[in-house]
Chain A
Amino acid sequence: QQQHEDLSAKKLRLTKPSKSAALHVDLCKATSPADALQYLLQFARKPVEVESVEGVVRILLEHYYKESDASVRLKIASLLGLLSKTAGFSPDCIMDDAINTLQNEKSHQVLAQLLDTLLVIGTKLTENPSVRMRLVEVACKHLTDSSHGVRNKCLQLIGCLGPVEKGAAKEVESQAAKDVQKIIGDHFNDQDPRVRTAAIKAMLQLHERGLKLHQAIYGQACKLLADDYEQVRSAAVQLIWVLSQLYPESIVPIPSSNEEIRLVDDAFGKICHMVSDGSWVVRVQAAKLLGSMQQVSSHFLEQTLDKKLMSDLRRKRTAHERAKELYSSGEFSSGRKWGDDAPKEEIDTGAVNLIESGACGAFVHGLEDEMYEVRIAAVEALCMLAQSSPSFAEKCLDFLVDMFNDEIEEVRLQSIHTMRKISNNITLREDQLDTVLAVLEDSSRDIREALHELLCCTNVSTKEGIHLALVELLKNLTKYPTDRESIWKCLKFLGSRHPTLVLPLVPELLSTHPFFDTPEPDMDDPAYIAVLVLIFNAAKSCPTMPALFSDHTFRHYAYLRDSLSHLVPPLRLPGRKLVSSPVSPSLAPHEDPSQQFLHQSLERVYNLQHLDPQGVQELLEFTIRDLQRLGELQSELAGMADFTATYLRCQLLLIKALQEKLWNVAAPLYLKQNALASTAAKQILEETYKMEFMYSGVESRQVVIIHHMRLQAKALQLIVTARTTRGVEPLFGMCEKFLQEVDSFQRCFISELPHMQGSFVDKLLDLMPRLMTSKPSEVVKILQTTLRQSTFLHLPLPEQLHRATANIIEPTGESDNPLRFTSGLVVALDVDATLEHVQDPQGTVKVQVLYPDGQAQIIHPKPADFRNPGPGRHRLITQVYLSHTAWTEPCQIEVRLLLAYNSNRSKASAKIAKSAWSESLEAIPQSETGIEGTIPFSKPVKVYIMPKPARR
């Protein structure tokens, strides 16, 4: 703290001619109001420094009193507000003046603007209750103004500044300490709709600030629902919602009867009524709020889905009811006849209520609304209510399923997502499943994927349902082969969720099914794989199932377990050596053998200190190979295995580089000889960046090791440079830089240093005093020996580690037709990619386009182009604009995704920044903190393009 003050004291006082003086001169020069207005407008364009704000305000006020033209006064008033906003300026000194200006003002517009200024001042001084009281008092005084603008602002002011705590109001005993709620409530019946809206908004503002609104307002608010103006109704709906959340359990009477109901139910009914309002803004508002009224009684809730049908005064069943009946009577699909929906019993005319005051059919209306905004809001509300009430979820299912056929894709997508969210509470009937599955043929990939996602977590009630789902999914597969992965994944979950339902289907699916009646089905057929994925996942929790498999099924299992290990679970198959795991299951039933293997191989590596160089290299190479294979087999361990393999590869490279014979040669190295060592250094650097930024779940323990490895690579680089360059001059700089890096490493990871006994950096720090004083050549020598002697550091593994991956789906890179466009103009290329385990994709993922001439272009996709279909997964759908000068031949360009990193963002540098703040204010070298770069993390895709010369 002390330091801080010292610093600010040192600041220079600026003595350049103050802005206020210039303004004063300008204003005095102004001959007409128009002139003055021009000056003020110009003045407003530039910011004013904090010190001169007060002076400027004084000049403006002085001018204000002299000015006769209302428009100039208005501008001055607005400038006052603007100036009070200046950061660091405390406006209490000008408050009195601002209030004084109100006294004699005649123009309503200026008055409103002045009140606005007071609001700005008030919001900056919220901690001061007496100031707030005064302002509220001023506002109350002007509430009787005849202009709606002034009343509007007054209410806004009261809403923002009115006393919230009961105690405070008593403390400052004054006129305005009266109940602010009453003052605002009186304006609910104002003649101007804008003022009414402002009054309700002020009330809501008070609520937001923590004041508990009186229940008495409820009656008033209900009357406002019938207002002529939509803004008023929309605000009133909000107010009613707020009150229903505050007093859910209190009892209100039903008008024109002696009955009473809970307030939340009454409010729910009223808001439901607003779902069929004339204005769509109100409808959206109402539909949205319905979702968050979870305390409402269930019979009210269920009414929202109820719409009594009738035809010629006779009761009719809805299509939903009919479908249900058909289903429960055991008949699945009957040929429809005319009059199937024929009305049944007569209705008592008196009992039919055409416009119910209650919640009747609110959602039925909302979901059928003309505006898709209302429909989306209704679907969202339905989702929220269904999540909290399983019985409601069951009931709203039919309606959600209907929404799958909406004309707007967004609505369809939203309802599919909603269904997925409530899927825990529901079981689909067959007829519903049928409708759901029909959507699988949708041409939009988004919809299909969302639907697969939905099927992953749906409960199906019968085996026919499973069969139906499988058949439809296979149909989907033949129609859109690109959905393969998604469908397999979907079947995986479908199988593991319903093992008992799959069991009776197995014989049919495997042999007697008409599609697969060949003795041994083709192993590469995606449809067959899909069926197997379903069966194997079901078999996991159904031990009797493997008995139904035929021989080739077991073989196929082995193959799939190997090639699609993320989809096929390990099965314990009786008497099959081929697949039974080498570790006997009784030994370690809980620990995953592959996990064990990973640790074992790492253990092995840590002993390599004791081996001869040749052995070390071999061991590392083997281990890396093993790990890579493991990563391919076990998708859940892929991140871990890759990460370790990369680390080991770094080590291997380092060892190889250090073992080159050339180090023994005294003479400077030649280009050819240094190639290996310097590329190794470069490669290690690259790999360390990958390790740091491409994996999610890396903890600080790993970051140390990564940085340590990077330091070693830098040392290696330094040594190589020292040996290859003549002269000492460039070395000075390099050495200094390196030592700085060591220093910052120490600062960052001071807490981790004890764990790094015998490591490179440990030894280096011991020698630090000597290094600081020695010449570059000596430094290099020391480094070389330390590097050789240092031990290999253990890499502790975190709990979860995932590698960021990207897969470009589109363009596919298979097209032979070049994309033709006129040179000089642009062509849009659609890029569609899935990203996994990327944190903050909006900030880091870029698209790179490489032209054949080596020119590269990096495109930052818009944040809106990223979608988030599930946790840890993102989808990038964007357009890349290409342009080039004319070519004679079509040629291929490469498109790939890059992961941008910036060491500023990394965890390590966050630490630096923190520690630096407390220890010293010395700036950290720019070069170190701001390393930016990109890592390509997707396979490049080639696109054939042909810019044609422009025709004249």
Chain B
Amino acid sequence: LCSFCLGPGAGQDVGRSCILVSIAGKNVMLDCGMHMGYNDDRRFPDFSYITQNGRLTDFLDCVIISHFHLDHCGALPYFSEMVGYDGPIYMTHPTKAICPILLEDYRKITVDKKGEINFFTSQMIKDCMKKVVAVHLHQTVQVDEELEIKAYYAGHVLGAAMFQIKVGCESVVYTGDYNMTPDRHLGAAWIDKCRPDLLISESTYATTIRDSKRCRERDFLKKVHETVERGGKVLIPVFALGRAQELCILLETFWERMNLKAPIYFSTGLTEKANHYYKLFITWTNQKIRKTFVQRNMFEFKHIKAFDRAFADNPGPMVVFATPGMLHAGQSLQIFKKWAGNEKNMVIMPGYCVQGTVGHKILSGQRKLEMEGRQILEVKMQVEYMSFSAHADAKGIMQLIRQAEPRNVLLVHGEAKKMEFLKQKIEQEFHVNCYMPANGETTTIFTNPSIPVDISLGLLKRETAIGLLPDVKKPQLMHGTLIMKDNSFRLVSPEQALKELGLAEHQLRFTCRVHIQDPRKEHETVLRVYNHLKGVLKDYSVQHLPDGSITVESILIQATAHSEDQGTKVLLVSWTYQDEELGSYLTALLKKGLPPSTS
């Protein structure tokens, strides 16, 4: 039995991932995210839900974090330090390295800028990170004697991983966020045919099939190139981690290839630290970067330099990456204000923008913006939208399901309406059950666990010697005695079982009479039966004994004339319990009667 509980968060919603899984008596929490949209208690999952009362550490066996995005790890310090959890937390090495930077940044914004109180402190982040155990890709980590976890590459962002959780022979795969198409800095998600009982997959793009990324890349590069050639300035608002690095690599290689000279700037701060980690975790990147880092680490940018506020007024073309990504505040907004008036310039929005932000306004075509202090800003610069999302699309999700071959699929992290479509498709294509629980809803999945049984070597050898070669695809019939003793299962030969139990052996023999209409003499009938059986049972040894009986393997057939009716012969078929299969087949065969004799 594999119970699955969509604990405090996630479910049919994007943001705040937090999933609770109980598998064969073990409780595992998958991700511990926060909701970006709320600023009150609702931003963190409701952990009291898990235990009602009692300590979390006693209830949870471990916590697994799939990647460093705040909607997957944002509530971690709150959970471990403020609510109180002392058990192990598992994440990959890059996640462990980058996660605290983001948490610290998040804390700064909330506490220092917005002045909130009762929030976790820097020290709490540090303490929390001390509880983290880092894992490598494909490394099987034994959490305790029964529970083991294993990480698979997931693409999406640096260090993102999918986790397989296994207890005994029951297993669950949690994908976190993943990407099935490689991009400029990361590879594609990959999993082996692990056939888990349950696959928990994200479904952000459940109803989308995306175009080739090459077109998008080409469009992006062409736009930047054209603007720079015209002498214009390009502003690309980004969030510090993830897509920003991809775009940097893209532009960097393009600049290198095309021998361009215009400067590219990256607004400083968080990014520099993060880039440092990208340089270190080369093994987590894509083929190209991994293969060429010996000559040159791709993240050691040659053309991209740190940005200084004063550069924005420099004449001539330039490209600037600035945070934050939605143009709602900070440096990106400042630069935008400076450059918006010139039609030679361009702003490229590489991602989705929340309603109400400047980014959203200009994307929806607004040309006059009202800024603080009633100023009206006229936007003359070109506005472009370029989607570079790193989630798997519907095809990608299906591809992952095909790779892993799960017995059940559960969709989370998406909108209900869209998930409905995908669910239907999955059930139709793979003929597996698909679930899509809502927040706080518990789904229970019944598994068909296979129970390992010890078999004595002697019995195994004897049985395989009788039958044909073992075949993976077909179950094989085997005779033996199952002994259940002291919580262990053993399959032994009947003799040994008898010996162990101190019982005497009894023979069980079946006899059956079959009436056959045959006017001939007894021995002729026997001969006919013999010829018939010999003709039908080619693979068995059929013998005609001198005393007038027939043996088929160890089954005995004798014929006598009926006492009353000489035209009817009675065939006596007798077999032991072991030959039940063949014996019953024989009787059935004989009951059908003999074929009309040709002689």
Which residues does A use to contact B, with CB under 8 Å?
144, 189-191, 228, 276, 278, 307-313, 316, 318-320, 335-339, 341, 349, 352, 354-355, 361, 364, 367-372, 399, 402-403, 405-408, 435, 438, 441-444, 479
Contact = CB atoms under 8 A, between A and B. Distances in A.
From B257, B385, B470, name the one whose CB has the most chain A CB atoms within 10 angstroms. Answer: B257
Given A354-B425, A370-B286, 20 more contacts: A189-B473, A278-B191, A307-B209, A307-B395, A309-B211, A311-B209, A313-B418, A313-B421, A316-B209, A319-B212, A319-B216, A320-B215, A336-B384, A339-B385, A354-B394, A368-B212, A372-B287, A399-B212, A438-B225, A442-B258
Contacts of A407: 184, 253, 288
Contacts of B425: 352, 354
Interface in B399-449: 399, 402-403, 418, 421, 424-425, 429
A438 B222 contact: yes
B214 A403 contact: yes
B215 A278 contact: no
B211 A319 contact: yes
A191 B469 contact: yes
Contacts of B398: 354-355
B255 to A, nearest CB: 10
Nearest to A223: B473
B214 A443 contact: no
Given A144-B469, A338-B364, A368-B212, A278 B192 contact: yes
Contacts of B471: 189, 191
B288 A405 contact: no
B238 interface: no
A307 B209 CA distance: 8
Q: Which 5 A-B pairs have the closest CB atoms?
A: A319-B215, A370-B182, A402-B214, A338-B385, A441-B258
Contact of A368 (B182, B222, B363): B182
A577 B582 CA distance: 110
Contact of A312 (B193, B208, B223): B208
B336 to A, nearest CB: 16
Interface in B213-252: 213-219, 221-223, 225
Given A191-B470, A354-B398, A405-B218, A318 B211 contact: yes
A435 B209 CA distance: 25
Nearest to B180: A276
Contacts of B181: 368
Given A276-B399, A408-B288, A354 B207 contact: no
A371 B288 CA distance: 8
Nearest to B215: A319
A435 B217 CA distance: 12
Contacts of B429: 354-355
Nearest to B402: A355
Contacts of B192: 278
B256 A443 contact: yes
B187 interface: yes
B215 A312 contact: no
Contacts of A444: 257
Given A320-B215, A370-B287, A444-B257, A308 B182 contact: no
A307 B418 CA distance: 20
A191 B472 contact: yes
Contacts of B469: 144, 190-191
24 contacts: A189-B471, A189-B472, A189-B473, A278-B192, A278-B403, A307-B209, A309-B211, A310-B394, A313-B421, A316-B211, A319-B211, A319-B216, A349-B421, A355-B402, A368-B182, A368-B214, A370-B182, A370-B187, A372-B288, A405-B217, A405-B218, A407-B184, A435-B222, A441-B257
A276 B184 CA distance: 19
B190 interface: yes
Interface in B462-496: 469-473
A337 B365 contact: yes
B171 to A, nearest CB: 16
Contacts of B259: 441, 443, 479
B210 interface: yes
A278 B193 contact: yes
B173 to A, nearest CB: 14
From A307, A338, A438, name the one whose CB has the most chain B CB atoms within 10 angstroms. Answer: A338
Contact of A355 (B216, B384, B399, B470): B399
Contacts of A276: 399
Contacts of A337: 365
A838 B259 CA distance: 33
A144 to B, nearest CB: 7
B151 interface: no
B299 to A, nearest CB: 14
A309 B182 contact: no
B555 interface: no
A79 B298 CA distance: 51
From A144, A320, A354, A441, name the one whose CB has the most chain B CB atoms within 10 angstroms. Answer: A354
B418 A312 contact: yes
A309 B384 contact: no
B365 A338 contact: yes
B382 interface: yes
Contact of B208 (A228, A311, A335, A361): A311
Contacts of B421: 313, 349
Contact of A311 (B207, B221, B365): B207
A329 to B, nearest CB: 19
A371 B287 contact: yes
Contacts of A316: 209, 211
Contacts of B257: 441-444
B181 to A, nearest CB: 6
B147 interface: no
B158 interface: no
A354 B395 contact: yes
A228 B473 contact: no
Contact of A364 (B190, B212, B218): B212
B340 to A, nearest CB: 16
From B211, B218, B219, B286, name the one whose CB has the most chain A CB atoms within 10 angstroms. Answer: B211
Nearest to A406: B214
A440 to B, nearest CB: 9
Contact of A443 (B184, B225, B258, B394): B258
B152 to A, nearest CB: 11
A349 B382 contact: no
From A228, A355, A369, A442, name the one whose CB has the most chain B CB atoms within 10 angstroms. Answer: A355
A341 B217 CA distance: 15
B383 A338 contact: yes
B262 interface: no
Nearest to A337: B365
Contacts of B286: 370
A339 B362 CA distance: 12
Contacts of B497: none
Contacts of A435: 218, 222
Contacts of A189: 471-473
A367 B212 contact: yes
B188 interface: yes
A818 B229 CA distance: 36
B182 A318 contact: no
Contacts of A368: 181-182, 212-214
Contacts of B217: 405
Given A335-B382, A368-B181, A370-B182, A309 B214 contact: no
A444 B259 CA distance: 10
A337 B364 CA distance: 9
A337 B223 CA distance: 13
Contacts of A361: 395
Contacts of A336: 219, 223, 384-385
A155 to B, nearest CB: 14
A340 B479 CA distance: 70
A626 to B, nearest CB: 46
Contacts of B403: 278
Given A191-B470, A355-B402, A442-B257, A308 B212 contact: no
A162 B402 CA distance: 38
A311 to B, nearest CB: 5
